[in-house]
Amino acid sequence: MKKNGLKAAMCAVACTVSLLSLSLPASADEKIKNPVAEFTGLDKITGQIIVFDVLIDETVQFGALQVTPRVCYSRPPTEQPRTSAFLEVDEITLDNTIRRIFTGWMFADSPALNAVEHPVYDVWLTNCKQTSEQVTVGKQ
């Protein structure tokens, strides 16, 4: 009798665990891969602020900086917003050489965490989008 009771209890626990796992979200860190990254750029000399979109794997120039996002992730609306992008930023120097000044992840909710270090320009990620209404011509 004890064995049957133990088997029934174990079966009940297994069924409960199975049902709970079905009701949980598939992934707590579900990412949405987006084809467009939105940035804000600041010219520290003039104080001009510009918002611009860049397609993934395209390069757009802002001042002396060339910004190339490689991937841009957002989260579903049901989760806490966490927008992140992996990007490369190059500087065009006065003698027209290109120098890489940033490669890494940028987070929209923490722009100072991985900031682009430049004396004249600031660039930070603000959003990842599925489409863009801006027509931005990339440089190859």
- Write the pLDDT tens digit of every residue in 30-60: 899 999 999 999 999 999 999 999 999 999 9
Sequence-ordered list of residues with C-beta below 8 angstroms from that of 117, at least 6 positions apart, any chain: 101, 102
Cα separation, 113 vs 108, whole angstroms: 10
Domain locations in the chain as residue ranges: 32-129
- Write the pLDDT tens digit of every residue in 79-128: 888 999 999 999 999 999 999 999 999 999 998 888 898 999 999 999 99
**pTM of the entire predicted model:** 0.74
Q: Which two tokens stand for residue 11?
A: 């079966």
User: Residue holding tokens 């579900």?
Assistant: 30
